[in-house]
């Protein structure tokens, strides 16, 4: 991997800062709406991990595919799905990106090649293999980026998918978002080898561990990995070492980790860290931060209004796409 750049341009810095702020503020609003019972079902927040999505999405092309987990709101937003469509989906409205049928865990958008939102742990990995295999067979110069948590590493699909990616030399970028806890299970309690990227190396995949709390490090690593995949038509693996500041889900009593540990990780907040760096380098000022916050607040307001004004799916359509006539 190339070295981490010491200086960030104003344009790039503002983009990353806005991207992460959009994800952070949108999810904070979703938590508020969940408390008001406007959003129901499960809700898994990405707060604290924004640097991974922000740093990675910038290096993927429009024709590349993205596969994610149920903690996918940030990936979906930064991939290009509108906040309106995401919020409407959270509400379960027909105007949502999955027509209100998927909710928080199943955001989907074929136009941006965003294939989930997958609720099953490790369920997205075989899907990524299939997408990449199809692209290779059709000789399409595309990459499939697959995001998943370290909990997926304990599943058979993880090993099967990595094995096939190497056997078939598929253009897959595996991105493990290692936030140290699979639901309430600490990594050391479920994995004998906690350096996740070493598992990929065992399959012969070029792999590395990355500071997932630093958007610059994430972006540099993903840029290098994408370049290598395109050049060699072979998979790559990045272990993003990150941390979620909120509980696993809104139902989680969070009894498995201490408040002191969470507070220590909050000192590495990716939004605050980038802001401080850009301010120290005099790349941005307080006015820029205010502009971003104001623009994001307005985007969120419009998204909530859009969702509130949305329509419920009519009863007569409830069986649509569920069953088909076998005759």
Residue 79 near residue 275, CB atoms below 8 Å: no
pLDDT at site 3: 57
Residue 326 lies in a domain: no
pLDDT band at 327 (very low <50, low <70, confident <90, very high): low
- Residue 263 resides in a domain: yes
Residue % of the chain over a pLDDT of 90: 93
Please report whether residue 320 resides in a domain.
no
Give the CATH number of the domain where residue 55 resides: 3.40.50.970
**Over residues 62-77, mean pLDDT:** 98
Question: In the predicted model, what is the mean pLDDT of residues 82-100?
Answer: 97
Tell me the whole-structure pTM to 2 decimals: 0.94
Whether the per-residue pLDDT at 183 is higher than 70: the answer is yes
DSSP 316: G
Contact 283, 8 (CB under 8 A): yes
104: CB partners within 8 A, 6+ apart: 30, 39, 41, 42, 43, 44, 70, 73, 89, 90
pLDDT score of 4? 63
Does 241 reside within a domain?
yes
Contact (CB, 8 A) for 188 and 27: no
- pLDDT > 50? residue 1: no
CB 108 within 8 A of CB 46: no
Look at residue 29 and tell me if it is in a domain: yes
pLDDT band at 326 (very low <50, low <70, confident <90, very high): low
pLDDT tens, 136-171? Answer: 999 999 999 999 999 999 999 999 999 999 999 999
Residue 44 predicted with pLDDT over 80: yes
Output the average pLDDT for the chain. Answer: 95
Domain total of the chain:
1
Q: Which domain holds residue 248?
A: 10-311
Q: Which residue has the tokens 């936030």?
A: 179
Neighbours of 180 (CB within 10 A): 18
For every residue of 79-107, which 3-state class applies, written as one string? HCCCHHHHHHHHHCCCCCCCCCCCHHHCC
Whether residue 322 is contained in a domain is answered as no
Residue 306 lies in a domain: yes
Q: How confident is the model at residue 102 (pLDDT cuts 50, 70, 90)?
A: very high
Radius of gyration over every alpha carbon of the chain, rounded to an integer in angstroms: 20
Which residues are bridge partners to 144 per DSSP?
A: 65, 172
Q: Which residues pair with 237 in a beta bridge?
A: 174, 207
Query: Own/partner pairs for 308-317, CB < 8 Å, 24+ apart?
Result: 308/38, 308/91, 310/88, 310/91, 310/93, 310/94, 310/95, 310/96, 310/100, 311/93, 311/94, 311/95, 312/92, 312/93, 312/94, 312/100, 313/94, 313/99, 313/100, 313/101
Q: Grade residue 324 by pLDDT with cuts at 50, 70 and 90.
A: confident
Domain assignment of residue 224, yes or no: yes
**Could you tell me if 175 and 134 are in contact, meaning their C-beta atoms sit under 8 angstroms apart?**
no
179 preceded by a cis bond (ω within 30 of 0) = no
Rounded CA-CA distance 98/253 in Å is 29
Write the DSSP assignment of 226-288 as a string of letters.
HHHHHHH---EEEEEE---SS-SSTT----SS-HHHHHHHHTT-HHHHHHHHHHHTTS--HHH
pLDDT, tens digit, 9 for 90 and up, residues 217-269: 999 999 999 999 999 999 999 999 999 999 999 989 999 999 999 999 999 99
Q: Per-residue pLDDT tens for 199-216?
A: 999 999 999 999 999 999
Burial (CB count <10 Å: 0-12, 13-18, 19+), residue 43:
buried
Query: How far is Cα of residue 162 from the mean position of the Cα atoms in its chain?
Result: 20
Q: Among positive and negative, which fits the CA dihedral 246, 252, 253, 257?
A: negative
Residue 109 pairs in a beta bridge with 114
What pLDDT is recorded for position 28?
98
């Amino acid at each position: 991997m190339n070295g981490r750049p010491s200086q960030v341009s104003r344009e790039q810095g503002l983009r990353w800062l806005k991207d992460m702020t959009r994800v952070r503020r949108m999810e904070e609003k979703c938590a508020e709406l969940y408390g008001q019972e406007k959003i129901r079902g499960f809700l898994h927040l990405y707060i604290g991990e924004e640097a991974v999505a922000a740093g990675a999405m910038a290096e993927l092309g429009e024709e590349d595919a993205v596969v994610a987990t149920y903690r996918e709101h940030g990936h979906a937003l930064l991939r290009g799905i509108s906040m309106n469509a995401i919020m409407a989906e959270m509400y379960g409205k027909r105007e949502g990106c999955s027509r209100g049928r998927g909710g928080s865990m199943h955001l989907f958008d074929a136009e941006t090649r965003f294939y989930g939102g997958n609720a099953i742990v490790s369920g997205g990995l075989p899907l990524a293999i299939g997408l990449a295999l199809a692209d290779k067979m059709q000789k399409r110069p595309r990459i499939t980026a697959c995001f998943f948590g370290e909990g997926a590493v304990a599943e058979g699909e993880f090993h099967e998918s990595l094995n096939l990616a190497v056997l078939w030399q598929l253009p897959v970028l595996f991105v493990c978002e290692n936030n140290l806890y699979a639901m309430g299970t600490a990594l050391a309690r479920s994995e004998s080898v906690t350096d996740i990227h070493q598992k990929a190396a065992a399959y012969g995949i070029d792999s590395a561990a990355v500071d997932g709390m630093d958007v610059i490090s994430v972006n540099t690593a993903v840029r290098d990995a994408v370049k290598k995949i395109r050049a060699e038509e072979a998979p790559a693996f990045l272990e993003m070492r990150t941390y979620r500041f909120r509980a696993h889900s809104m139902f989680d009593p969070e009894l498995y980790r201490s408040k002191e540990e969470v507070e220590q990780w909050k000192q590495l907040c990716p939004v605050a860290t980038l802001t401080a760096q850009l301010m120290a380098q005099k790349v941005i000022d307080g006015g820029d931060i205010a502009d971003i916050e104001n623009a994001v607040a307005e985007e969120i307001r419009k998204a909530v209004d859009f969702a509130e004004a949305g329509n419920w799916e009519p009863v007569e359509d409830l069986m649509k796409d569920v069953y088909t006539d076998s005759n």
